[in-house]
Amino acid sequence: MTALKLGLIGDNIAKSSAPRLHGFAGAQNGIEVQYDRLVPAQMGEAFEEVFANCAPRGYRGINVTYPYKERAAEKVAIEDPLVKAMGAVNTVLFEPEGPQGHNTDYTGFIAAYRVARGEDAPGVACLVGTGGVGRALAFGLVALGASEIRLCDRDTAKAEALAADLGALPKAPRLVVEPDARRASSGAAGLLNGSPLGMDGIGGNAFPDGATKGATWVFDAVYTPVETPFVAEARAGGLQVISGYELFFWQGVHAWGHFSGTPLDEAALRSALAAPAG
């Protein structure tokens, strides 16, 4: 059986299902997968040291999650000009000529959106969190035809930098930087959480109570747990919910394509992941 050594660099990833996803993907293709959680603090190494040691330690590729996606983008070659403009990568391949960066959060979000909402346009969208995954979501909203994107982040400079990058795109929508989530969400059709708020070990809600009223759909990048307070409020209000699990699934499917180049039975993969671990 062919062997493939992969990993995930990130903080707070003890409950990540990525090892199971890639293990099942390998099983479909007769590939034995070793998929390691690489937490810099637990390894006693800085992110830069962990990353630099991946190729020497035999990793074919890695995924990168919070809070390292933008730092990873600085250490790889990026062929896709759109991903280069995003300035964040979540999938890295270690090639003989050096590490190559991709962003399957971007493609995964678009896939998850299309499955849930088909060709419906996002309308006015409010995005909280403009870091690594937030940047991918924002570029995805442009590709999906959002009429307006409101960017909300406690770090206003980060939100303004993203607005500038989005504004340079050929079909940029109206862009608004608004640090107050209540004002930013008022009147928006779509609400998106691109921050870690709601995640196991972090908690909280990116949107204030009542912010979902008047919206049509929501997306939460957090998938541990899937039912965050934000998602629970949206479901209770009858909004269409695109969960972080959908982003996890589709970014993983697309990452697997980069890692192995082999096809997947997506329905069978979903069923395998839905079964109890053990």
Q: Is the dihedral of CA 247, 249, 250, 254 positive or negative?
A: positive
What CA–CA distance (Å, rounded) separates 112 from 32?
Answer: 28
- Give residues with Cβ within 8 angstroms of 241, minimum separation 6: 217, 218, 219, 220, 231, 234, 235
Q: Which amino acid is at 48?
A: E
d(CA 95, CA 89): 16
Look up 69 and say whether it is catalytic: yes
Q: Could you tell me if 202 and 15 are in contact, meaning their C-beta atoms sit under 8 angstroms apart?
A: no
Cis bond before residue 19 (omega within 30° of 0): no
DSSP, collapsed to helix, strand or coil, labels residue 245 as helix
Measured CA to CA, the distance from residue 125 to residue 188 in angstroms comes to 6
Measured CA to CA in angstroms, residue 1 lies from 33, 35, 209 at distances of 10, 16, 52
Q: Which residues pair with 205 in a beta bridge?
A: none
Distance of CA 45 to the CA centre of its chain: 24
Say which of 15, 69, 84, 158 is annotated catalytic.
69
Hey, which residues does 93 pair with through a beta bridge?
A: 61, 100
**Angle of CA points 254, 257, 260, to nearest 5°:** 145
Active site residues: 69
